[in-house]
Every structure is written in structure tokens, then in C-alpha cells.
Amino acid sequence: MTKADFEFIRSLAYENTGIVLPERKKHMVYSRLSRRLRQLNLKDFTQYCSFVSNTPDERIHFINALTTNLTAFFREGHHFDYLEQVVIPEWQRKNKKRLRVWSSACSTGEEPYSIAMTLEKHFPISQWDLKILATDLDTNVLEKASIGNYSRDSVTNLPARYLDKYVRHTADNQHIQMRSNIQKMIHFKQLNLLEKWPMNGPFDAIFCRNVLIYFDNETKQKIIAKFRKMLSPQGYLFIGHSETLVNISEEFDLIGQTIYRPLGHGGKKLAKPKFSAHHL
């Protein structure tokens, strides 16, 4: 990979995804795209840069190769503690019946399934209009998410009450399958956060965790401003543990650990969790 190759790749990545690739990411880029070069039988990155430039259909493979998809069930458990202890009781008191939640970078699906498991028992479908939208840039991970099949090891930390109700073991006993009662709550769609969003909202909660870290401030500001327009005035925005809206947006109040609400929401601050979803 020449310097010119890397400059082209980082420019194309930013243009199509908003992801910033600093020089220190060069080895990672080399490693991930090398697999694609082998699949296409191309001899070097210069050839690949020419190919992706002239082949629009290759862009999705390019994006899939570069995007990071680290996730887990109930990752950053304090968010699910807050959802259980504060948000759900508030929604139940309002009793407005229509609830919409958006997992905006759902990866292989562990996040929206964790949200669904937390909400399902409190909002039975027979009585509530509850839908979870789960989107991601990467079509490969969306396919896995929609199937809902995972290794048995990935659910070792799931509370027993969730395992019994929402998960069944496959015949080989090495994998688990999410049950249909939880899958039907979630709608998986491909979406690039930098492009036009086809949905209208409003959403009662938006999860966008560990995504902003890949963008520059200008891109962060644009995305957060669009989230604000999509979010109910009384809604919640959950971001990643190493992310902040400081110097990004003045339209939100920080109410808990990486938990925000629109200004003027009248909500309460985060109480100390009584439990962790990881250890029930």
C-alpha cells in the first residue's frame, strides 16, 4: 500500500461514511482490505483503488471491510439499568401506548436484542405499539443480526430470566437462537448516517454508542443535530462510554453516565443503579 493508495482510501472512507482514518490506522486498513484484494484477485492496492473508484457496487464491500463491529449483549450495562429503573416506569406512567426506539449502529444485533429483552415484559405487544428500529452501515452484520443466531459463549452473561424466555439452544448445543417473540419487535434496515434518513420519528429513545468516536467534530455535530430532530422532546439519547456531546451540541442535558435528554425535558438525574443487568 503506497502513501497515495492510503490517502485515496482514507478520502473515500470519509466521503462515504464520515469515518476518519488517521495514519496510525494504516495497518488496520491494510489488513482488512487485503482480504478483499485476494477475493478479487488483484495484485496490489493501486489496482484496488482504481477498481473501487470505477465500480460503484464495490463501495458496499469497501465499507463493510472497514467498519468495526465490536459488540456484546448488555454491553455498558448501566444504560440498561437506567432503562429498567427510570425510563420504563416513566413510559408506563405516561401510558401513551406508542413507543419507538432506534438502535442506530446495531452491528450484529446484540444491542437491539438487549433493548428488546429489557422492554418486552413491561410492554406486551397485545397492549402496546412498540417497535425497535435497528440500523447499520454494514450489510454483512445486518444479515447476521436479522437471523438472530449466536455462539453459545456470547450469552454466558445473560440473566437466567432472559435465557429462559427469549433464547433457545440449537441442535448442536453450540449456538443459540433468539426466539420469535423477541425478533418480531425489531426491524433491521441498512442505513448510512451520513445520507438521507427515510424515517420520520419521533423516537422515544435513540442508542448511538461507540460510533461518534470515528467521526470528526463537524460530522458529529451534523449527526447529533439530526438525532435531536428525530427525538421526542421527552426522549433519551444514549452514547458510548468514551463519547461526549461537549463542544458538539448545546441542545441536550447530560442526565446520567453518557445519557442525554433534550433541553427542557424536565427529567430527573440518574440514580445509582440497584443492580447490574450482567449479574441478575
Given the residues 81, 136, 138, 204, the one annotated as active site: 136
Question: In this structure, are residues 102 and 135 in contact, taking their beta carbons and an 8 Å threshold?
Answer: yes
Q: How far apart are CA 270 and CA 256, in angstroms?
A: 5
Question: In this structure, are residues 257 and 242 in contact, taking their beta carbons and an 8 Å threshold?
Answer: no
To the query of whether residue 10 is one of the catalytic residues in this protein, the response is: no
- φ, ψ for residue 10 (rounded to 5)? -65, -35
DSSP per-residue string spanning 78-94: HHHHHIIIIIHHHHHHH
Q: In whole angstroms, what separates CA 10 from the centre of its chain?
A: 22
To the query of whether residue 32 is one of the catalytic residues in this protein, the response is: yes
> Would you name the residues annotated as active-site residues?
32, 136
